[in-house]
Structure 1
Amino acid sequence: MKKIINDPAAVVAESLRGLALAHADLLRVQEDPAVVVRADAPLPGKVAVISGGGSGHEPLHGGFVGPGMLHAAVPGEVFTSPTPDAVQAAVSATTGEAGALLIVKNYTGDVLNFETAAELAAADGQDVRSVVIDDDVAVADSTFTAGRRGVGGTVLLEKLTGAAAERGDSLDQVEALARKIVGQVRSMGVALTAPTVPHVGEPSFTLAEDEIEFGIGIHGEPGRERIPAESADALVRRLLSAVTEDLPFERGDEVLLFTNSMGGTPQLELYLAHGIAERLLAERGITVRRRLVGPYVTSLEMQGISLTLMKLDDELIELWDAPVRTAALRWGV
Structure 2
Amino acid sequence: MKKLINNPDDVVREALEGMAAAHPDLLTVHFDPTYVVRADGVPDGKVGLLSGGGSGHEPMHNGFVGRGMLDAACPGEVFTSPTPDQMQAATEAIDAGAGVLHIVKNYTGDVMNFEMAEEMAESGGIDVRSVVIDDDVAVEDSTYTAGRRGVGGTVLIEKICGAAADKGYSLDDLEALCTRCNDNVRSMGMALTSCTVPTAGEPTFDLGEDEMEIGIGIHGEPGRKRMEVEPADQIVERLMTPIVEDLPFKDGDDVILFVNSMGGTPLIEVYLAYRKAAELAEQHGLRVVRNLVGPYITSLEMAGLSITMMRADDDIVELWDAPVHTPGMRWGA
Normalised-by-shorter TM-score class: over 0.9
Task: Name the CA distance, whole Å, in 2 between partners of 1:53 and 1:185.
Answer: 20
Deviation, structure 1 residue 42: 3.0
1:103 maps onto 2:100 in alignment: no
- Which aligned runs of 4 or more in structure 1 are off by greater than 2 angstroms? none
Who is 2:68 aligned against?
Answer: 68
Letter in 1 for 2:315: E
| 2:113 match | 113
Separation in structure 1 between the aligned mates of residue 203 and residue 227 of structure 2, nearest angstrom: 19
Tell me the SS of whatever aligns to 1:245: helix
Deviation at 1:280, TM superposition (A): 1.3
| Structure-1 separation of matches of 2:221 and 2:33 | 27
* Aligned residues of 1:43 and 1:94 also touching (Cα < 8 A): no
1:256 aligns to what? Answer: 256
Distance 1:294 1:116 in 2: 34
Q: Which amino acid is 2:265 matched to?
A: T
Q: Which position in structure 2 is the counterpart of 1:150?
A: 150
Please say if 1:204 is aligned against 2:186. no
More displaced stretch, 267-276 vs 35-44: 35-44
Asked if residue 27 in structure 1 is aligned to residue 38 in structure 2, the reply is no
Listed one character per residue, the Cα deviations across residues 101-130 of structure 1 (whole Å, up to 9, x for unaligned) are 000000000000001000111111110110
Alpha-carbon distance in 1 for matches of 2:226, 2:60? 27
Give how far 1:295 is off. 0.1
Paired with 1:43 and 1:218, the residues of 2 have a C-alpha distance of 34
**Aligned counterparts of 1:119 and 1:42: Cα–Cα separation in 2:** 22
State the Cα distance separating 1:96 from its structure 2 match: 2.1
Amino acid at match of 2:281: L
Partner amino acid for 2:128? V
Q: Provide the secondary structure at the position in 2 that maps to 1:125.
A: coil
Question: TM (normalized to structure 2)?
Answer: 0.99
Distance in structure 2 (CA, Å) of the matches to 1:7 and 1:210: 33
| Structure 1 length-normalised TM | 0.99
* C-alpha distance in 1 between matches for 2:41 and 2:51: 15
Q: Percent identity at matched positions?
A: 64
Distance in 1 between residues matched to 2:135 and 2:76, nearest whole Å:
21
Please name the residue that 2:91 is paired with: 91
State the aligned residue count: 333
Alpha-carbon distance between aligned partners in 2 of 1:92 and 1:9, rounded to the nearest angstrom:
28
Conservation of the 8 A alpha-carbon contact between 1:250 and 1:286:
yes
Deviations along 1:8-59, one digit per CA (max 9) or x if unpaired, are 1110000000001100000000011110000012321100000000000000
- Paired with 1:67 and 1:27, the residues of 2 have a C-alpha distance of 10
Instruction: Provide the C-alpha distance between the structure 2 equivalents of 1:331 and 1:317, rounded to a whole number of angstroms.
Output: 14
Answer whether contact 1:58 1:298 (CA < 8 A) is retained. Answer: yes
Deviation, 1:250, is 1.7
Matches of 2:204 and 2:178, distance apart in 1? 33
Q: Are 1:131 and 2:126 matched, yes or no?
A: no
Q: Which residue of 2 aligns with 1:179?
A: 179
Looking at structure 1, the residues matched to 89 and 123 of structure 2 have their Cα atoms a distance apart, in angstroms, of 15
Q: RMSD between aligned alpha carbons?
A: 0.6
| Superposed displacement of residue 251, structure 1 | 1.3
| Alignment map for 1:1-333 (pairs within 5 Å) | 1-333=1-333
Amino acid at match of 1:56: G
CA distance in 2, matches of 1:63, 1:220: 22
Alpha-carbon separation, structure 2, partners of 1:42 and 1:308: 30
1:270 Cα deviation after fit: 0.3
Task: Tell me the CA shift for residue 322 of structure 1.
Answer: 0.3
Distance 1:262 1:283 in 2: 26
